């Protein structure tokens, strides 16, 4: 197609703003609700290679099944506990060996827990911070190093949470909230350091999203369904699908001039 430039507008680029053709992506927590939805979204928008890293083997198997059935495509799957540095480095090394390069990293792994602060054990605090925050630094560091060496830039997207900005009502989860606030600040800090290498680092903060942990919780504690729904201006919980658009945006050239930002996808929860 002919490249048309009108008044400084590059129409060839404009037509391909959200295109992920030839992009090679890692999605951590790729066996989970939001991670898998983003991986499928990336495939729909043309990604050529997808690696899913998760420590839940059955979920990875299920993800492979879905990709094979839908696209006759086999993602690279790696089982790893991302809170352990050696496992992160081994996993990222394996992806680089298979793909030769990584253009996009999405950190979508994570755990949840309710516990009153006065009863929270040191072990539970450490586990939460290790899995939800330290691991995000470790994967960003391992992939960031590779992107810097390759000198081709890249896109890093960290899934934080609205809980990194507000305190959810009524759940006691100071360690979860703190981990997510940390992810948002880590994102800004890395964006500042790595912009000189052409690496954009942004985060997405979902609100209540119907993935397996929330679905299980609502099955067991139906009373929270109405309480939380009424706090959401758009009047419904998010589906994993609702998070995918922001991820495609941040992974594609549509967001080339955006870095260090946090996109809140919460049905308006945080505006009240």
Establish if 164 lies at the interface with ligand NAD (CB under 6 A). Answer: no
Establish if 82 lies at the interface with ligand NAD (CB under 6 A). Answer: yes
260 to 58, 87, 192, 203, 220: CA distances (angstroms): 34, 27, 7, 8, 37
Name the one range near ligand NAD by CB under 6 A: 3-11, 105-113, 117-125, 137-145.
105-113
Establish if 139 lies at the interface with ligand NAD (CB under 6 A). Answer: no
Handedness of CA 167, 38, 92, 156 (dihedral sign): negative
The binder of ligand NAD chosen from 46, 48, 56, 99 (CB under 6 A) = 56
61 to 52, 67, 74, 115, 136: CA distances (angstroms): 10, 10, 11, 32, 23
The 223-262 contact track toward ligand NAD, x by CB under 6 A, reads: ----------------------------------------
Nearer to ligand NAD, 14 or 37 (CB): 37
CB 104 within 8 A of CB 251: yes
Nearer to ligand NAD, 32 or 182 (CB): 32
Helix (H), strand (E) at residue 173: none
Name which of 163, 175, 170 is nearest 120 in CA terms.
175
Binding site for ligand NAD (CB under 6 A): 29, 31-35, 54-56, 59, 80-83, 108-111, 131, 135, 159, 161, 206, 208-209, 211-214
- Active-site annotation, residues: 161, 176, 180
């Amino acid at each position: 197609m002919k490249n048309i430039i009108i008044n400084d507008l590059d129409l060839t680029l404009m037509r391909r703003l959200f295109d992920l053709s030839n992009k090679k992506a890692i999605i951590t927590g790729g066996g989970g609700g939001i991670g898998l939805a983003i991986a499928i979204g990336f495939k729909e928008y043309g990604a050529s290679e997808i690696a899913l890293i998760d420590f839940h083997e059955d979920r990875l198997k299920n993800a492979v099944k879905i990709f094979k059935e839908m696209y006759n495509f086999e993602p690279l799957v790696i089982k790893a506990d991302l809170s352990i540095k050696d496992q992160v480095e081994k996993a990222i090394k394996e992806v680089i060996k298979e793909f030769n390069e990584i253009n996009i990293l999405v950190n979508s792994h994570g755990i949840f827990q309710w516990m009153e602060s006065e009863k929270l054990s040191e072990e539970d605090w450490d586990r939460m911070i290790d899995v939800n925050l330290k691991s995000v630094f470790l994967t960003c560091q391992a992939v960031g190093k590779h992107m810097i060496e390759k000198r081709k830039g890249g896109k890093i997207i960290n899934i934080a949470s609205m809980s990194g900005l507000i305190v959810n009502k009524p759940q006691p989860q100071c360690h979860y909230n703190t981990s997510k606030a940390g992810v948002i600040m880590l994102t800004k800090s890395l964006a500042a350091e790595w912009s000189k290498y052409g690496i954009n680092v942004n985060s997405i903060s979902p609100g209540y999203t119907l993935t397996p942990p929330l679905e299980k919780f609502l099955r067991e504690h139906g009373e929270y369904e109405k309480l939380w729904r009424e706090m959401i201006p758009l009047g419904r919980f998010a589906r994993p699908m609702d998070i995918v658009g922001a991820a495609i945006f941040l992974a594609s050239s549509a967001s080339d001039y955006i870095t260090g930002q946090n996109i809140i996808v919460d049905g308006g929860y945080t505006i009240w």
